[in-house]
Amino acid sequence: MSEFHPLLENAFELHVHSSPSLFPRKQTDWELIEDVKAAKMAGVVIKSHESMTVERAQLIREKEPNLHVYGGVACNYFTGGLSPYVVDTAIRLGAKIVWMPTFSSEKHQCCFGKKKTRFFNSNRPFNHPEKGLEIWDENKKLLPEVHEILDLIADANIILATGHLSPEEVLVLVDAAKEHKVEKVLIQHTDLGIARIPFDLEQQLVKKGCILEKCYLACSEDFSDLTKEEMAESIKKLGADSCVMVTDYGQSHNIPPIKALSNFVEEMLSLGITESEIERMIQKNPKQLLGL
């Protein structure tokens, strides 16, 4: 009997971390893919804070042509920041998603006290600018390069993900994305404490046609931002049509991501989320976002 829930068959996980990485990860790409196959999933999106994942995904697809394995680029300092040139390159290489700044965002840096940290996989001091990236200038006017990036995303019809931006930035970005005709906007881990989105803003974003990530990591011991009961209640109120279930797992101290997704499904079912709603959030909505 499989260790994974049957509803994972034909499912997608849109937010997972694996190695190679500067951060300690639970699994390599290939170990992750073995779990994806064992669960009979349709595919996965590999995310990295510090590098493109497009080439890694391409190599996996060449060996596993029946799986939908994709990557993208996060606009952090590591990858050139808010660079239209980097985004254009990622798209030409096959990116399915562009993440706004995550680790390098001003909101993320404020959340963790702007400490001069060390990369967990290195003994060398980690040099990262104290001033995090924002999408606007001192007058809160969207930067020209962000407009260029939105045009590139719209032209390619791929996913714009909001990363670790502040709620205020998210709202401005979403409105600008709509003006640029971006069709697929994914609001990242709305319940996670790094850049939590208030519920009333979640409701506004749903009305604007955005898809919200309901993230298992927010319920973990790492964050404990809300209980699983509160997670289920938020899904019921917002509607499964506007949500995707993701884990954001891959940290070396946590269980493997696909096992986490399986647990997430089982727990939401026990709290009143229906099978058809689960299928909507891990099969239909991700498939639509990926353009499959």
pLDDT of residue 113: 57
Is 230 a domain residue? yes
CA-only gyration radius of the chain, Å: 18
Tell me how many degrees the CA angle 127-17-56 measures, rounded to the nearest 5.
Answer: 90
Q: Is residue 54 part of a domain?
A: yes
Q: What angle do CA 143, 179, 73 make, to 5 degrees?
A: 55
Q: Which residues pair with 46 in a beta bridge?
A: 16
**Residue 181 falls inside a structural domain:** yes
Residue 42 belongs to domain spanning: 6-289
What pLDDT is attached to residue 191? 94
Residue 108: what pLDDT?
A: 81
Q: How many domains does the chain have?
A: 1
Is residue 1 a part of any domain in this protein? Answer: no
List the chain residues with pLDDT less than 50. 114, 116, 118-119
CATH number of the domain bearing residue 237: 3.20.20.140
What is residue 223's predicted lDDT score, i.e. its pLDDT?
83
- pLDDT on residue 225: 81
Contacts of 73 (CB under 8 A, 6+ apart): 52, 53, 54, 79, 86, 87, 90, 95, 98, 99
Asked if the structure places residue 194 within a domain, the reply is yes
Report the predicted TM-score, pTM, of the whole model to 2 decimal places.
Answer: 0.94
What are the tokens at 204? 């506004």
Is residue 94 included in any domain, yes or no?
Answer: yes
